[in-house]
Structure 1
Amino acid sequence: MRAPELSLFDVFGVSREIPLNYVVREKVDGVFLDALTQHKHLVIHGSSKQGKTSLRKHTLPSTDYIIVTCSNKWNLAELHAAILKAAGYKLEGTTIRTTSGDLKVNAKLGAKLKLPFIGDAGAEVGTEASEATARSEAETSLELDAADVNDIIDALDKSNSPKRIVLEDFHYLPEETQTDFAVALKAFHEDSAYCFIVVGVWLDENRLLQHNGDLGGRLLSVNADKWTVEELKSVMNVGSAQLNIKFTPQFMDSLIDGSLSSVWIVQEVCKLACERAGVYATQENCVVIDDDVPALITQVVNQDTARYVGFLSRFAGGIQNTRLEMFRWILMSVLLAELEDLTRGLTYGWLTQTINMHHPTAPVNAGNITQALQSTASLQLVHMKLKPIILDYNQTARRLTVVDRSFMIWLQHQDRAALISELELS
């Protein structure tokens, strides 16, 4: 019996859906599945394009959760409001003030999410309810302080919402909002049955604990960044079997060596190699594929050249003109670092030493260096509007990490001395 014909683009490359060659990673998928049974909040973290969203989609049925994609402009109340909207509410402003001075909102539950005791009639919840609604014992009026976690829990309970709530792109939220929500997470754990799955681009497993130490014991982290050689080979082997092709051992070894463990690079290079071989769907006869892997990797990462050059220029400029220009010297340190050190993350000690070796007013106060490092993410998200971010500072390990692996590969193919000169970093 002939195998079903599959499209190349459903197997290799970036897809909105779960790739057909999805590979279960024991130390990632297994940890995530185990964590789901413990009724705690979960954090899925790692570099960009390393399979965080696919992990969630593959493991959890879409009916088991509601999902919110975070915005870099939201405060806590706006994040809470987005959660309520995902649960089926329609929100309207009021003229009533909360104790903090903000305006309360009306929450109306639409017909798509029905209270279990209403049946097919649906319900509306709001302070401006009609007389008919007011007479109905089944319907309730809610006047909410969107910044109050207690009000949010009460509203979610009335919506019959799934007990899991996914927050994608949590790293886009302003730092203050992340901190405020970390405080709210404790209340969600203590006073409700809701478990949040927070998905973000960072390597520090204790990121939310830094915002609120009381989350200790209430939060589990899953590092989706790790891909072993065997797992990356499985991605290629599963995909090649689905398309009835075979990558040569030399091709596979060269790709794994050059990918810096980036599953995105592996997927994109395999897609390009198939296109160059004329393979766009499952083949009737097995096709053996070999190609110039370094050239293909370069082709993939060069798609982002304009983005990376823009990042370097704007990051060097910092948030505003200052006497010390700390971001300029942090960037110079990144460009001077060896690939192996970039892969592990640049330690605070190494960064301090390197900056003081080149800064015209050395030695630089340690507090100024620390403050700039802690602001690297907000500089990229808030001031540069850069998505996804490229650099992130791990405050627990005190390391500056590259969270875009393709940037490191791109950097390998650049004349770093020329970049330093062009950016006037020396």
Structure 2
Amino acid sequence: MIYKTTDVFGVKSTLIKTYIEREKVDKKFKEAINDGNEVIVYGSSKQGKTTLILKHLNIDDYIKVECSPQTKSIDIYKSILRQLNIGYIESETNSENKELGGKINGGFKIKVPALGEIGLGSEVSEAENFSSTKKEVFFEYNLELAQDVSELFIRNKISKYIVLENFHYLSQEVQENLAYDLRVFQDHQIIFIILGIWREANRLVQFNGDLLDRISEVPVEPWEKSDFLKVIEKGEELLNVDFSLIQNQIINCSFDSIGVVQEICKQCCIIADITETQKNKFTLQKEHLIQALDLKAKEYGVRHHRNFEAFVDISNKISAQSGKASLAFPYYFIQLLLTYNLDNIESGLSRASLLDEIRKIHHRPEDVRSGDLGAFLHNITQHQMNKKINPPFVDYDRGGKTLKIIDSSLYFFLRNCDRNEILDDLPNPLDE
């Protein structure tokens, strides 16, 4: 059978041919979706969260909602209703001596017909100058209340999983609200599968302690070297190629990212002009890897360089309380990222370490207080959203008080770029 290289290797929104099952992840996920709890799948970007869903759930098994920074809880619930073709209205018109068919009222309450589809009719008499709506029987639901939403799901016999993609894009307020809603949904056996880019356990439990023992968490990391080898070997069989001369270098360059491994393997093949399964076995060489690494470094570099510039772009406002300019934490954080030992960054940076290191390089170290740094760290995800940095590249674990990189390609970029050159190119707020 002939396979295309882009179907065998790479990062895609569809299931890749070199997907492998890992007992610690796949088995845990299959158990999780059947144990009655809400399911949280988490890990760094491009580490296999979406493909885990694609592998184990048919398209008819679930409803998927793509979250964004503007998404509210009610937007999620309305999307689910639309995808299930559940008809509803937001208000019933019954006017007298007023404009016919008055505008649907705003708000979160909806009305669902008791039987059949929505079919409001109206009768108008010009002589009497009034309009009347046919009498229909409706059930009213408030989409602000998880109990009402649960009843609506049950009434319509919704047995599908609800997948929330990119949960991390939601504002903290919406995440907290959904954490409380999940408690209600779990009571009604309505299963949500939440996909989020973070690296610590119990993220939603921090918002609602009552979720403890009511959610099943599935971390997609870490990836072991043996896992990467299995992926490469599977691709070798499908394309009839041989990576033996360079496979260890590919794995070492990936910094534990399956997304990077997939992309490097794909680029090696493309550079060798392998676009599909070969008739005769082809052995990939070191020169193919060198070119692939250079190409991926440039591709990742464009995005990360732009992200860094956006991240540090802040207005150097004067504080009304202190009369001093901003402490410019975004700038100093990126400066630290570009100068600090990468091995220490990979293991995560504690809040205490960040405080010490930023004080060492800050122009006003005596003004760098733990509380101010804490406020910056607590809002670091929202700051990235505001700067349109998607996906975010760093996240703060409030429970462990640790800052972690969550973009799996960033380590590759930092190892292959000229960090001093990037730092010199960044706009320094102190120059404003």
Into which bin does the TM-score normalised by the smaller protein fall? Answer: 0.7 to 0.9
- Aligned match of 1:361: 364
Q: Which of 248, 257, 282 is the equivalent residue of 2:252?
A: 257
In 2, Cα distance between equivalents of 1:41 and 1:125: 32
1:15-26 matches, within 5 Å, as: 15-26=12-23
> Which residue of structure 2 aligns with residue 8 of structure 1?
5
Give the deviation of 1:193 after TM superposition. Answer: 1.4
Which sits farther off after the overlay, 161-170 or 409-418?
Answer: 409-418
Indicate if the aligned counterparts of 2:91 and 2:111 stay in contact, CA closer than 8 A: no
| CA-CA distance at 1:419 after TM superposition | 2.7
Structure 2 residue aligned with 1:154, among 151, 155, 162?
151
Aligned residue runs from structure 1 range 86-125, under 5 A: 86-94=83-91, 103-106=107-110, 123-124=116-117
Q: How does 1:62-211 map to 2 (within 5 A)?
A: 62-94=59-91, 103-106=107-110, 123-124=116-117, 128=120, 141-190=138-187, 192-211=188-207
Aligned to 1:379: 383
Deviation at 1:102, TM superposition (A): 6.5
SS in 1 for 2:279: coil
Aligned partner of residue 403 in structure 2, secondary structure: strand
Distance 1:55 1:320 in 2: 44
Runs of 4+ more than 6 Å apart: 133-136
State, as a whole percentage, how many aligned pairs show the same letter. 28
Within a 5 Å distance, the mapping from 1:405-420 to structure 2 comes to 405-420=408-423
**Alignment match, 2:320:** none
Among 208, 212, 218, the alignment partner of 2:208 is 212
Unaligned runs of 5+ in 2: 94-104, 124-132, 318-324
Match of 2:309 in 1: 313
Q: Counterpart of 1:246?
A: 242
Residue in 2 aligned with 1:112?
Answer: none
Which amino acid is the alignment partner of residue 173 of structure 1?
L
- For residues 54 and 326 of structure 1, what CA distance do their matches in structure 2 show? 36
Contact kept? 1:163, 1:193, Cα under 8 Å = no
Pairing 1:229–2:232 present: no
Larger Rg: 2
Do the aligned partners of residues 282 and 214 (structure 1) sit closer, same or farther apart at CA in structure 2, a change above 3 Å counting? Answer: same
Taking the aligned partners of 1:312 and 1:72, their CA distance within structure 2 comes to 20
SS of the aligned residue for 1:393 comes to: strand
Q: How many residues align?
A: 400
How many Å separate the matches in 2 of 1:162 and 1:65?
Answer: 9
User: Counterpart in 1 of 2:128?
Assistant: none
Give the C-alpha shift of residue 269 in structure 1.
Answer: 1.2
Residue aligning to 2:351: 348
Taking a change above 3 Å as real, the CA distance of residues 187 and 289 of structure 1, as seen in their structure-2 partners, is same
Give the alignment's Cα RMSD to 1 decimal. 2.6
Tell me the SS of whatever aligns to 1:27: helix
5+ residue gaps, structure 1, are 110-114
Cα pair 1:247 1:289 within 8 Å, conserved? yes
Distance 2:10 2:181 in 1: 38
The answer for the alignment partner of 1:304 in structure 2 is 300
Specify the alignment match of 1:268 in structure 2. 263
Whole-angstrom distance in 2 between the partners of 1:130 and 1:124: 16
